[in-house]
Structure 1
Amino acid sequence: MGKVRKHSDSESDDGEIEFKKPRPAKKKKVETKTAEKSNDNTRDAKGDAIFALSNKRRVTVRAFPNGEPAIDIRETYVVNGEQRPGKGICLPLVQWKKLVELLPDIEEAITALPKKK
């Protein structure tokens, strides 16, 4: 904290010292360097399609090194303004198709769950 001497226009200066709190630093908006918006799709630096599920969860459609499609469902975190992948699962296309096939059954199981009172 800095000391600031309070000046008075009158002849008698009582030497009053006022302490001012430093202003808090403004929060900078975190920008993601890995994703950029183009039309209705979001793509990362590699050109992979990204679909946001929430603030910290997303689905990325990319290719395995052998060229096979992969659906990557991950949590993300930010380090130095860059969004990084965290825990998640990467499904090969066969498993993704099976999951999509099972969605009606999964929805039914969700609705069949007992309601909490």
Structure 2
Amino acid sequence: MPKTKKRSSSSTSSDSGPDDRNALPVKKPKATAEKANTDKTGSGTSNSSGNPNGPWTIEKMRQVRINEFKGHKMVDIREFYEKNGEVLPGKKGISLFPHQWKKLLELAPEVNKALGE
């Protein structure tokens, strides 16, 4: 019969469960203008805020936005998700520099032709 080890009731035991861990602080959702500008209706391409810098909704939670990263403006095409009433950017997406965005627009007719549209 195999011997069983007794568990120590010491607080230094690393194999005790999550009960001995410190609770993480709860983040309070921020009230942002970005959340107010989000169009979740999925009604095609729209910008309900009238803001010339977006966001523009492609469908449901997929949006196009103009963001700034390290001082450079970028076109961000991304899937968003909602958590605790806050709309947050997901991992699925791409950010393009302005020259890449312009090249994509130049290629759009060829892509449409390949799609048969």
> How many aligned residue pairs are there?
76
CA deviation vs aligned residue, 1:52-71 (integer Å, no higher than 9, x gap): 011110000122222x3200
Corresponding position of 1:80: 84
If each structure's helix is expressed as a fraction of its own residues, which one has the higher value? 2
Which of these two proteins has the greater Rg computed from alpha carbons?
Answer: 1
Q: Secondary structure at the match of 2:36?
A: strand
Counting aligned pairs with the same residue, the percent is 36
Distance in 1 between residues matched to 2:77 and 2:55, nearest whole Å: 10
CA deviation vs aligned residue, 1:22-56 (integer Å, no higher than 9, x gap): xxxxxxxxxx953224x84366xxxx520001111
Q: Secondary structure at the match of 1:53?
A: strand
Q: Secondary structure at the match of 1:52?
A: strand
Corresponding position of 2:114: 109
Normalised to the residue count of structure 2, the TM-score between the two structures is: 0.56
Give structure 2 stretches of 5+ with no counterpart: 1-30, 38-46
Normalised to the residue count of structure 1, the TM-score between the two structures is: 0.56
Runs of 4 or more consecutive aligned structure 1 residues displaced over 6 Å after TM superposition: none
If each structure's strand is expressed as a fraction of its own residues, which one has the higher value? 1
